[in-house]
A and B are shown apart, each in its own frame.
Chain A
Amino acid sequence: MTDQTVSSGSFDWTSPAFKSNVKRRKRSQFRLKLYGLTAISIAFLMLALLIGSLVSTGYHAFTQTHIKMNVYLDPQEIAAENPGRGDYRSILTETMRAQFPEVADERADLRRLTSMLSNGAQFTIRDAVVENPRLIGQTVVFDVPVADAYDQLNKGLIDRETPEEFRRLKDDEIANFDLLQERGLVTRPLNTALITNADSRFPELAGLKGAIIGSFYALLTCFILSFPVGIGAAIYLEEFAPKNKVSDLIEININNLAAVPSVVFGLLALAVFLGWFGMQRSAPFVGGLTLALMTLPTIIIATRAALKAVPPSIREAALGVGASKQQVVFGHVLPLAMPGILTGTIIGLAQALGETAPLLLIGMNAFITSAPATPFDSATALPTQIFIWADSPERGFVSRTSAAILVLLTFLITMNAVAIYLRSKFERKW
């Protein structure tokens, strides 16, 4: 304590020294505010930049350039008894030759012409013929995707002004494509393949079906395992556990598990699930198992908070009319805490959906061209698919990666929106 006393009568409130002091203090307050605002604006700016860059690169992938073609299904190339084994490549070559009769008959030129079409075009035609063999011998209109380079050209991502030697498409290739465009054969419909196809080496054919189903199976497994176990653990710790060393140990354990790096869970899964128990590599089931271990602490912590929020009067009333401790918890406390528990669980599952590193370690980054039929088949998940595409050298995968991220973010936003809705709709304030 200082003995300094200021008698208000003698203090000069109007002295310049005091005024400048006040000014200085106000300035420092203003500075602190400014720092805070700057910090928040930087965070906002980064978020805007993140979303903006994803949308600006990703929106291209939501459409896909197609070419409409009259394909003559030559009976000489397709055997009627075995339509699956026909030479669809040369049928496509003939189709392209019909469009460009002036192109010399040299094979190299023809091959370059045909390479305008996606590698998947022949399979589209094959599947149509296998499904309906009566088409053989007729001329059928097909709408097939073009190869990635032409797709980029049509979307304006290839600069025509670049010198030819630095361009992916040569002058004559661009001229051929422009010719088709003049004839009105080029269309750019919505890219449904992005959702209905599985992965592919060719950007124009690659889709997210396998990844979405893989993620769904993994999340389902994660939910089935972590939800009951998490609630059981939380109820025990919150309502029944005696205050002793063991309970403390479990508590510390759970808090620490929540902060263990995700890649360590991947190591655990690799060593124990794959190494010791010999489970299937790349399977969504194993991924879900790993994610369940990571989600467990989140669910336990959320459930305990929800149980704590139920007022003691409910418990006392139920106990007072003769319910047993478990009847109180399961009949009264748990139902009242359920909205909070579900909110926490959904948020935990949303985190698990975005988790990548542990899935990489158990091999869910494999190249798989079909969607998994069961949780035990090899598959990728949405975040690992993003990782694979981000690693791919083809230009077309850049916009596809952004598009896949936008799909993933849509799922995350939906899940969080459901969680927020549940909380606001059902949570009771006591």
Chain B
Amino acid sequence: MDPTGTPMTLFAFLILFVAVMVGYTINLRAARAIRAGGTKPHSLDEFHGGYAALVILVPTFFLIILWVLFQPVVIEFLVKAGLPSGTFEGLGAGEIQLIMTEIRSIAGGRIFGTPEEWKLAAADRLVSLQATASWLLVAITAAMVAALILYTRRTVAADFRARHGVERIVLALMVGCATVAIFVTVGIVGSLMFETFRFFQMVPFWDFILGTSWEPQIPIREDQIAAEGAFGMLPVFLGTLVIATIAMIVATPIGLFSAIYLHEFASPRVRSIVKPVLEILAGVPTVVYGFFAILVIAPAIRSFGADLGLPIAPNTALAAGSVMGIMLVPFISSFADDALGAVPRSLRDGSLALGSTPAETVSKVLFPAAIPGIVGGILLAVSRAIGETMIVVMAAGLIATMTINPLDSVTTVTVQIVTLLIGDTAFDSPKTLAAFALGMVLFLVTLVINIFALSIVRKYREVYD
């Protein structure tokens, strides 16, 4: 994404657009001419045009995208290869990145001080490579669309099955869209594993998994990096569990009782008001909840604690946890509502016919029958609580302590990921890589919970459907 190349890329897209139009029109006219000549083509004229448009559009479009994606990578490689040999000897990745940034800013015309001769030469080479690459892209695009227009024009014939061609391409595109989801998952797992693997080359695996001290900011000198226990994830994970537990203690009863009330006792009118209001709670961005926690809830908890004489930390786990609980209420209540609604009517009618009150029907018949769905919903809420980021980044602490006291300040996995990575781009220190290791743990834990919860929900639905 090099800004200087953007106009040329736009130009390439423009050529493509024009070519698609031209190809479509030429083939449409050709098909019409055949029809006017008295023979009936297999496909409608529009399909002949559409076939040309797609055959021109799809490969060229992907070529341009790939080109734009890989052009900076290739150019950087070429510039690096052209530097005097031995320039990068003994330098860390961060320093190499710094040199490349300087070369890039010289190339962009922003020169600070008097850079070395070889840096100026490299910047010149960078500029000329970028210009060449941009022109090359336009030239290749033009050549490609010209060839494709000629090719598709020759396909127009009465017995050519243009509709089948179009449908094959469209189907292939749709399959491609569907596999994007798989690529995203592969991308997540791949990138996390790659960086995590590099992290474990610097910090031993068991130190990370079983270490009880987390002090990622300390390592400054090389010899401190492997200092024992500096990257132990246990206190961070414990903090996550403390906050998630508080959140669930708040969210579960409120969510379940409001679902029971809405499902069993509320009139349709009340339901139609209460449900959307609860959904508003679910739609509020988490950064807003975070601000709410520091603005209102944390001071309230602290002054309440001061009245009771309790020592409450400024960013107590209680504030972040309870606000997160409020966020999860609509989540749990809608899952519980669905689960109660999925219980067959016959069970409820049977219970009421035997003389039980609506309350007894809910608590002794519907609720037990809906337990699997409710548990699935609660598990999904737990996974959300573990993965929730903004509330804890704003309202929870930064220091990892081995404590389960909710009045203390604790930190969480997501807080550490964000604080380790904000403003830091070099991927060579254990500090930044630790964030990816934490991300991997977070991904795996939530994945296991999600798969388990979703399978419970699905299985249970199948039983009653």
A44 touches B277 (CB 8 A): yes
Contacting residues of chain B (432-447) with chain A, CB-CB under 8 angstroms: 435-436, 439, 442-443, 446-447
A240, CB-defined interface residue at 8 Å: yes
Known pairs A36-B265, A283-B1; A250 contacts B291 (CB<8 A): no
Residues on B with beta carbons closer than 8 Å to the beta carbon of A405:
287-288, 291
Residues on A with beta carbons closer than 8 Å to the beta carbon of B451:
252, 256
Residues on B with beta carbons closer than 8 Å to the beta carbon of A266:
421
A260 touches B188 (CB 8 A): yes
Output the least CB separation between B255 and chain A (Å): 8
Stretch from A170-178, A205-213, A226-234 contacting the other chain: A226-234
- Which of B184, B291, B418, B423 is the one whose CB lies under 8 Å from A401? B291
A202, CB-defined interface residue at 8 Å: no
CA distance A274 to B177 in the complex (A): 23
- Which of B287, B295, B436, B442 is the one whose CB lies under 8 Å from A387? B287
Known pairs A257-B181, A277-B69, A376-B1; A40 contacts B359 (CB<8 A): no
Which residue of chain A has its CB nearest to the CB of B171? A240
A357 touches B386 (CB 8 A): no
Which residue of chain A has its CB nearest to the CB of B263? A36
CA distance A266 to B436 in the complex (A): 11
Bitwise, A234-249 to B at CB < 8 A (1) or not (0) is 0111001100000001
Known pairs A53-B295, A264-B188, A357-B418; A47 contacts B1 (CB<8 A): no
Stretch from A77-85, A114-122, A292-300, A313-321 contacting the other chain: A292-300
- Which of B73, B182, B194, B326 is the one whose CB lies under 8 Å from A249? B182
A256 touches B174 (CB 8 A): no
Which residue of chain B has its CB nearest to the CB of A384? B287
B442 touches A37 (CB 8 A): no
Which residue of chain A has its CB nearest to the CB of B362? A32
Stretch from B140-148, B226-234, B278-286 contacting the other chain: B278-286
B388, CB-defined interface residue at 8 Å: yes
- Which of B262, B277, B362, B388 is the one whose CB lies under 8 Å from A261? B388
B286 touches A356 (CB 8 A): yes
Which residue of chain B has its CB nearest to the CB of A261? B387
CA distance A85 to B226 in the complex (A): 54
Residues on B with beta carbons closer than 8 Å to the beta carbon of A228:
177
Bitwise, A25-44 to B at CB < 8 A (1) or not (0) is 11011011101111110111
B188 touches A262 (CB 8 A): no
Residues on B with beta carbons closer than 8 Å to the beta carbon of A40:
257-258, 261-262, 274
B320, CB-defined interface residue at 8 Å: no
A383, CB-defined interface residue at 8 Å: yes
B406, CB-defined interface residue at 8 Å: no
B296, CB-defined interface residue at 8 Å: yes
A354 touches B182 (CB 8 A): no
Residues on A with beta carbons closer than 8 Å to the beta carbon of B330:
43
B281 touches A300 (CB 8 A): no
B6 touches A376 (CB 8 A): yes
- Which of A39, A50, A297 is the one whose CB lies under 8 Å from B254? A39
Bitwise, B446-460 to A at CB < 8 A (1) or not (0) is 110011001000000
Number of interface residues of A (CB under 8 A): 98
A365, CB-defined interface residue at 8 Å: yes
Output the least CB separation between B178 and chain A (Å): 4
Output the least CB separation between B425 and chain A (Å): 7
A125, CB-defined interface residue at 8 Å: no
Bitwise, A357-372 to B at CB < 8 A (1) or not (0) is 1001101010000000
- Which of A33, A240, A398, A408 is the one whose CB lies under 8 Å from B265? A33
B16, CB-defined interface residue at 8 Å: no
B278 touches A279 (CB 8 A): no
B182 touches A39 (CB 8 A): no
B180, CB-defined interface residue at 8 Å: yes
Known pairs A40-B258, A261-B414; A250 contacts B174 (CB<8 A): no
A386, CB-defined interface residue at 8 Å: yes
CA distance A257 to B185 in the complex (A): 7
Contacting residues of chain B (283-336) with chain A, CB-CB under 8 angstroms: 283-292, 294-296, 326, 329-330
- Which of A230, A281, A412 is the one whose CB lies under 8 Å from B283? A412
B390 touches A356 (CB 8 A): yes
CA distance A263 to B446 in the complex (A): 12
Residues on A with beta carbons closer than 8 Å to the beta carbon of B174:
232-233, 235-236, 240
CA distance A257 to B370 in the complex (A): 26
B138, CB-defined interface residue at 8 Å: no
B76 touches A278 (CB 8 A): yes
Residues on A with beta carbons closer than 8 Å to the beta carbon of B362:
32
CA distance A37 to B451 in the complex (A): 33
- Which of A250, A265, A286 is the one whose CB lies under 8 Å from B178? A250
Residues on B with beta carbons closer than 8 Å to the beta carbon of A270:
421
Residues on A with beta carbons closer than 8 Å to the beta carbon of B69:
277
- Which of A300, A363, A402 is the one whose CB lies under 8 Å from B181? A300
Residues on A with beta carbons closer than 8 Å to the beta carbon of B414:
261, 263, 357
Residues on B with beta carbons closer than 8 Å to the beta carbon of A241:
178
Known pairs A47-B280, A387-B287; A256 contacts B329 (CB<8 A): no
B405, CB-defined interface residue at 8 Å: no
CA distance A36 to B255 in the complex (A): 9
Known pairs A53-B295, A249-B182, A261-B446; A47 contacts B281 (CB<8 A): yes
B360 touches A25 (CB 8 A): yes
CA distance A387 to B389 in the complex (A): 12
Known: A39-B258, A268-B184. 5 other contacts (CB 8 A): A47-B277, A262-B387, A271-B191, A354-B286, A390-B291
Cβ-closest 6 pairs across A and B? A36-B261, A261-B387, A354-B285, A232-B177, A29-B359, A271-B191
Seen from chain A, the residues whose Cβ lies within 8 Å of a Cβ on chain B are 25-26, 28-29, 31-33, 35-40, 42-44, 46-47, 49-50, 53-54, 57, 228-233, 235-237, 240-241, 249-250, 252-257, 259-268, 270-272, 274-281, 283, 285-286, 293, 296-297, 300, 324-326, 350-351, 353-357, 360-361, 363, 365, 374, 376, 383, 386-387, 390, 398, 401-402, 405, 408-409, 412, 416
| A-B contact list, 6 entries, CB within 8 Å | A43-B330, A263-B414, A280-B1, A374-B6, A390-B294, A398-B295
Seen from chain B, the residues whose Cβ lies within 8 Å of a Cβ on chain A are 1, 3, 6, 69-70, 72-73, 76, 163, 167, 170-171, 173-182, 184-185, 187-188, 191-192, 194-195, 253-258, 260-262, 265, 274, 277-278, 280-281, 283-292, 294-296, 326, 329-330, 357-360, 362-363, 380, 383-384, 386-390, 393-394, 414, 417-418, 421-423, 425, 427, 435-436, 439, 442-443, 446-447, 450-451, 454
